[in-house]
A and B are shown apart, each in its own frame.
Chain A
Amino acid sequence: MKTTDPGPLLRVRNLTVTFTERRSTPWRRPGAVTAVNDIDLDIEPGGTLGLVGESGSGKSTTARAVLRLVRPSGGSIEAAGFEVGSFGRRVPIAYRRAVQAVFQDPLGSLDPTKVIGDIVAEPLGIHFGLRGRERDKRVAELLDQVGLASHHGGRYPYELSGGQRQRVNIARALAVEPKLIILDEPVSALDVSVQSQVVNLLEDVQERTGVAYLFVAHDLAVVRHASDRIAVMYRSRIVEEGPADRICERPAHPYTEALLAAVPDPDPARQRLQRERRRELRAAAPAAGPRPATGCPFAARCPHRMPVCAETFPGWTPVPDGGRVACHLFGGEGTARPSDTHPDYQETSR
């Protein structure tokens, strides 16, 4: 089960996840929906990969496949030395120690009938057999690490604020000292003023413990701040991948460009430019229809679409300054020339 080959902490190859639809009538064959289609991902130890996409893009399904909460229908996932595909119904407890998760809904992911102290203590009992005073001491340490006071241990989840609940989820994930934490939209349910507190906390934790993150989110601006590299997903496919700053300043794929143009900016002057860009991109594209069976999933919305786009999914083309793109615009030319329309995004945040 353990592989000896050293390499990235997470290596996903050709991952495909297919869900069977409910039969509409008993005599009809149930349809299948491909939520994740032939994707590759790598995360180095201590690194952060941002996985960004809109609802229905398959980003959360990817995260759940790595956690073995859904069963992949093809491809391989190697994480922290484990071959996830070889797991049966029972996932080895050692894998649960290596790979942890924080989910989007901070309240829903906590058992409403348990107090915070017991929630954080649970993995300590399961994995290390800690009991009594020793366990309480560790719980207090963990709560302190995520910025909660020890008196929070006696509260129920509904008595805490959204940000505090997410801190509890992070404390529980940290309890087993994992190598990789899957963050599935960890801040999107939080208030703006609290979002950045949690992102900063995640960074502190990473600096201190060297844990790696798979940061799944729909908000490109948040992902850019939290990640070293970004993979952009659209309708089950990864369409572009590369260093975070390159993706956000010089996107190569037309979808990444559309996504960037849609990120609202609080600076009204910049937002006016954003709106112009948004309208230009949309002017050329009709609304998205049903997912095509073949070809590029973005073709229907793409302002640059060509006949070939409807036929085959493009192969990967390397992009200067890092990463690669899957788009016919760049096919066959050796390297892609990414769009240069975002010089102002090189401005530094305050």
Chain B
Amino acid sequence: MSEVKVPAAAVSGRSGSRLLSRLVQQRATLFWAAVVLLVVLAALLSPLLSPHDPLKGNIREGLLGPSADHWLGTDKLGRDVLSRLLYGARVALLAGLEAVGIAALIGIPLGLLVGYLGGWPDRIAMRIVEGVMSVPFLVLAIALISVLGPGLTKSMAVVGVVYAMTLLRLTRGQALAAREELYVDGVRVAGAGDRRILFRHILPNITPPLIVQVTLMIAGAIIAEATLSFLGLGVQAGQASWGSMLSDAQASIRESFFLALPPGLAILLTVLAFNQVGDGLRDLFAREAKGGSLGVNPVHHESGSGQPPPPGLVAADPLLRVRDLTVSFPQPGAGRVTVVQGVSLDVAKGEILGLVGESGSGKSVTAMSLLGLVPDPGRVAASAVELDGRELTGLSFEELRKVRGGAIGVVFQEPIASLNPAYTVGDQVAEVLREHEGLSRAQARARVVELFEQVHIPEPDKRIRDYPHQFSGGMAQRVMIAMALACRPRLLVADEPTTALDVTVQGQVLDLLLELRAETGMSILLITHDLGVVADVADRVAVMYAGQIVEGGPTEDVFRRPAHPYTEGLLASLPRNVRRAGRLPSIPGVVPPPSAWPVGCHFADRCPYARPQCLETPVELSARGDDRATRCVRAGELTLAGVGDVPAAGEPLPPAAGRPVVKADPPLISTRIEKRP
């Protein structure tokens, strides 16, 4: 499924502070991090905190219960359990750090190297890793320790080597993926050598998963230490370790069951804390990588201005009627940011309306919000969304889903990504039919073949058994169109349907849309950034800029004589297949993020005709003639240049092509022409 982008402003901010602010929201992770901190403090300050010597005790005071002097009582030899517990924390952490440190020192550099180099070093390293990891970890550790002799340092070194295999495999996989990234090509072309690429570029980029793994490994190593010490393979007799304490407790379990509780709980809590912190970090980094995805968000009803939109955006016999559509997203520290502001438009029966704009204009969000497909924190409201006379605002998502499946068909930009790779295309289209039309298996199959014929997929009865990856981009888009047509929709919403396709294929898909419109009489809401596509197929056009419709009207009129400076700039900067004269005209600057939209005209800071009055108050859409609308305070005084120099019948010639004509004062920037030497 295609993704609706959350506006950049909603997620901007420094990556560090962003991570931190998100961490604050993860209360549980913070709590467990505090537990980890507590254990670390206990280990560091154990000589200060311990009320007694952990190694010496009075055997006559053995197996005492908790008391004021011995908070957790004493063990069989009369040693203070609390003191041993605190010193045990030190042993547990040191053992964990030793094992994980060795694992990181061996596993990460080797993993980086073999992942990056590939080939035979990779194959040899991976066979060794697989060999080591196929033996149960504890069995291996015990075997090695029995050769090396017991002792905490030695046994944790063995644990470290075994862990290094896990880390090696993880790092290798990450490096393997990272070396295919384009930025690696970028720095390689910049002249960076292998070492620089590995340690300066790949390593920082794969650090997050490594941090998670290392945190989880510390927990594992603490358990390993306790296990080995319990078995007498870790710390030497007498030394305080949670494992050896458990072992002592087991020896005197008949006399005092309480002894097992403090070390047992200490292990449980510490390991749980490290695991929770690791999982929390994983969630944190994972959310970092994930953008907004399709959500479920019905359209709320809100009374609007009540003012009818100007001509150019309304139709006499509308199939779709949208009034005062607003979409907003919460923004950290800035309340809500409105990314679509009061959009009103009609799509007439049998009409193709082109909704055109650049990225960040809100065109896709507008269309997706009508279908209830806006990412979750977003809020959609409108005074009216009517489809064929039926009011859609206030419907629950379930009701909206029925409408969407039946009366509205949707086609997305990435046809192959929009299909499920695990099912044949025939099954996927049939599923829609069985779900919405209640057809039987055989009926659905026959109808799919019919649909494939309708969208001109050659040999339809054979191709329905193919999987998505067996289709080219153009053919996959035909499948998507067939799926959208399955329930004979009245309205087809096509979101950049040809953007991902080759230009020769694009023409064929557009021809198909025109043909289907003629056959079925459906209306099409075509969202695109390509003015050429709009010129090709759209009857009317609505131009969006920074969340607002800035101009609307019949395509040919708008493109010949635009009434908004943004439309003029877009048309002029579009590269066309004509002989060039000097520099390409362009619009200076960039589309501002939603949080930076001014009160007045959103386009003012990029507009060559801007005057102080443009920024003062919000600019409303106004009528121009009887079938046009524009959102420009100077609309009456500007004469803007459009495409073409052949006037339509009965119309005066537009101003000299190429030069915007301004009454009163000359243009400032943008479309000026310079001769190249």
Contact = CB atoms under 8 A, between A and B. Distances in A.
B183 A112 contact: yes
Contacts of B643: 265-267, 270
B577 A111 contact: no
B183 A108 contact: yes
A266 B178 CA distance: 41
Interface stretch (A41-49, A220-228, A302-310, A333-341): A220-228
A219 B591 CA distance: 23
A110 interface: yes
Interface string A241-269: 00001001100000000111111111111
Contact of A268 (B191, B196, B555, B673): B555
Closest 4 A-B residue pairs measured CB to CB? A264-B532, A350-B658, A196-B586, A196-B584
A264 B580 contact: no
A245 B579 contact: yes
B223 interface: no
A69 B192 contact: no
Contact of A275 (B204, B530, B536, B587): B536
A103 B185 contact: yes
Interface string B1-34: 0000000000010110000000000000000000
Chain A interface secondary structure, helix, strand, loop or mixed? helix
Contact of A111 (B193, B201, B575): B201
Contact of B532 (A54, A67, A263, A346): A263
A197 interface: yes
Interface string B475-514: 0000000000000000000000000001111111001000
Given A54-B504, A193-B587, A262-B506, A112 B529 contact: no
B590 interface: yes
Interface string A145-187: 0000000000010110111100001001101100000000000
B578 A271 contact: no
A259 B511 contact: no
A333 to B, nearest CB: 27
A300 interface: no
Interface residues of A, number: 83
Interface of A: 54-55, 64, 67, 69, 90, 93, 96-97, 99-101, 103, 105, 108-114, 122-123, 126-127, 156, 158-159, 161-164, 169, 172-173, 175-176, 191-197, 199-200, 203, 218-222, 224-225, 245, 248-249, 258-271, 274-275, 278-279, 282, 287, 345-350
Nearest to B556: A268
B443 interface: no
Interface stretch (B423-431, B566-574, B616-624): B566-574
Query: Max chain A CB contacts within 10 Å: which of B503, B506, B579, B581?
Result: B503
Nearest to B579: A348
Contacts of B506: 262, 264
A109 B186 contact: yes
B580 A103 contact: no
Contacts of A275: 507, 511, 536
Contact of A262 (B358, B504, B576): B504
A69 B188 contact: yes
Contact of B191 (A54, A93, A113, A248): A93
Contact of B529 (A172, A191, A278): A191
Interface of B: 12, 14-15, 181-183, 185-193, 196, 201, 204-205, 358-359, 458, 473, 502-508, 511, 529-536, 555-556, 559-560, 569-581, 583-588, 590-591, 641, 643-644, 646, 657-659, 671, 673, 676
A122 B196 CA distance: 10
B641 A108 contact: no
B590 A278 contact: no
Contacts of B673: 350
B574 A266 contact: yes
9 contacts: A93-B191, A126-B192, A159-B12, A224-B580, A262-B507, A267-B560, A269-B646, A270-B644, A275-B507
Contacts of A225: 575, 580, 584
Given A156-B15, A176-B191, A225-B584, A263 B577 contact: yes
B584 A221 contact: no
A109 B530 CA distance: 25
Contacts of B15: 156, 158
B579 A259 contact: no
A287 B507 CA distance: 13
Of the listed residues B15, B575, B587, the one surrounded by the most CB atoms of chain A closer than 10 A to its CB is: B575
Contact of A350 (B183, B503, B572): B572
Contact of A113 (B204, B575, B590, B658): B204
Given A103-B186, A196-B584, 20 more contacts: A67-B185, A97-B191, A111-B183, A111-B201, A126-B192, A191-B591, A192-B358, A192-B531, A200-B586, A218-B502, A219-B575, A224-B577, A265-B643, A266-B531, A266-B574, A267-B559, A269-B646, A274-B536, A275-B536, A348-B579
Nearest to B587: A193
Contact of B590 (A105, A164, A200, A224): A164
Contacts of B577: 220-221, 224, 248, 260, 263, 265, 345
A185 to B, nearest CB: 12
Contacts of B186: 101, 103, 109-111, 169, 172
A271 B536 contact: yes
Contacts of A347: 578-579
A110 B578 CA distance: 34
A122 B204 CA distance: 16
B67 to A, nearest CB: 55
A249 B579 CA distance: 9
B190 A122 contact: yes
A200 B584 contact: yes
A122 B187 contact: yes
A196 B585 contact: yes
